[in-house]
Amino acid sequence: MAKDSEQTEQPVERTLVLLKPDAVVRGFAGKIIARFEDAALKIVGVKMKQMDADFTRRHYFDLEERLGREVYDFTATFMQQGPVIALVLEGFDAVATVRKIVGSTYPNEAPAGTVRGDFSHYSKAASVVAGKAVANLVHASGNRDEAAQEIDLWFDKDELYAYRTLAEIYTY
């Protein structure tokens, strides 16, 4: 067993989460945010934004290259149809924790207990038939590098806050 001085401290990370227009218009923002807070993730930045074509292109800068023009167009149209709530969450293993909480990209594949598994059912096949993007409620950064890039795009440094939660004071 390692002594206290030999233990390594767990890394605190930040990650970006977007509550997409379907989450906002369906009134799920509070329920979704509560799941992150229940997992001891701390909100250090939050804003609501209507994405325009230029900002959408900057956020999804490589989507067309990776998945094709049609997927980009569906996604851009979907993300511009209403306001988005952007959050910066902080905590131990924040990127992986958020991805676990939100579930699989395709809601019909997401297990019960995840945001997408509980609040959506849309599938890739349904989106192809409908000619629309997958309505999956949430965007979550895929890794630490992506999180840093997305946070820099969405938030100025003075829009991010440092404070201690009760969980940090009494638990960690």
Active site residues: 139
Cα 166 to Cα 25: distance, rounded to the nearest angstrom: 31
15 token code pair: 């990650």
Cα 21 to Cα 81: distance, rounded to the nearest angstrom: 7
Q: Where are the beta strands (DSSP E) in 23-108?
A: 42-49, 84-92
Collapse the DSSP code of 64 into the 3-class scheme (helix H, G, I; strand E, B; otherwise coil) and give the result: helix
